[in-house]
Amino acid sequence: MKRKLIKAARCLLYYQWPFREITTRLRPRAGVLLYHRVGESLIDHYGLYVSPANFEEHLKVLQRNYHVMAMPEFLDRFPHRRYPDQTVIVTFDDGYLDNFTTAYPIAARLDIPVTVFVVAGAIHNPSLFWWDELEQLLLKPDQPPSSLELEVEGKQHSLAPATTEKQRRENYSQTYELLKHLPGAAERRQHMEALRTWALTAPAGENFEQCRPMTLTELKEFASLPGVNIGAHTNTHTTLKILSVEEQVEEFAEGKRILEDWLGQPIRAMAYPFGDGNKSSYQAAAQAGYEAAFTTVPIPVIPSASPFSLPRLNIHDWSGRAFEKRLHDFFGK
């Protein structure tokens, strides 16, 4: 009871001026927003797509209510706490083509800077990310009538014929988790080939242009545009839990080196694949030469946060009003 009364008193005090004014100056909050795709899709298991119309509404909310800042400026200000309370930074993960062709024109028109964390290895030889192709193979309605047996790391896994959406999603989730935690890309490619053969689908999959990452030519053009900042999303987007610190350093440093060689500009920040950075990842990011690294923990950044475990809020296809409410709750107004 005593603790509850103390907590209530603190909350009451916080919302009184000038205490709140002093607190936010000493402990300013920043919200780093995480987008993946801007476009339309009928298949979107994890809710990564935001429609162009909703994306524009989101950015208009940011214009009206928040201090929108480019990532390089935030990285300069963060160590000194010299950023306004309720600063917002807009980021994208993976390096999809629609970040360039659909999201950027909207952001540029509204003068909103964006940072895109790019998987360097995906730019080398553009094809669908394996998780996107897996969606097309396992979530489309016309599934093969036969089951499929996959031997993953010595264990047999069976995919039963799926006639309902629920069954298709269960098959997808099960297979996604199996492939996500494989230690090497070669074995994952082998299983994807088995899935393609079973589904009678070509390697590129359907809607290739809609779903693919940028090519090197496109990335270079995109990176040269005003208001665009490029960060790293590792070299191969491998699950970090299965890598040693030394392997993580190599994975992080290689992604950084490749992008800097291609673009001729410093890559100062990175985002962890699947958002699953851990203590060894934070150490590896520092050793690889980054100034900051981002997770997917959905809380505001505060000055005492480690620069190698900075949180981000995952954004979904909310309406402008729902987005505004979500940010209002996120910052605890």
Q: Report d(CA 255, CA 275) in Å as an integer.
A: 16
Report the DSSP pairing between strands 148-152 and 155-159. Answer: antiparallel
**Where do the structural domains in the chain lie, given as residue ranges?**
30-126+213-330, 130-208
- pLDDT value for 97: 95
pLDDT tier for residue 8 given thresholds of 50, 70 and 90 = low
Q: Which residue has the higher pLDDT, 122 or 141?
A: 122
Report residue 265's pLDDT band, with 50, 70 and 90 as the boundaries: very high
Q: Is 70 exposed, middle or buried (0-12, 13-18, 19+ CB in 10 A)?
A: middle
**Alpha-helix runs per DSSP H in 41-129:** 52-65, 71-77, 97-98, 104-109, 120-124
Query: What is the pLDDT, as a whole number, of residue 65?
Result: 96
Q: Domain 30-126+213-330, CATH 3.30.420.340 — does that match?
A: no
**Tokens found for residue 59:** 């950015």
Grade residue 9 by pLDDT with cuts at 50, 70 and 90. low
pLDDT for 202 beyond 70: no
- Band of the pLDDT at 13, cuts 50, 70, 90? very low
pLDDT, averaged across the chain: 88
Residue carrying the six token digits 């079973």: 198
Q: Given this model, what pLDDT does residue 5 score?
A: 59
Do residues 311 and 300 make contact, with C-beta atoms less than 8 angstroms apart? yes
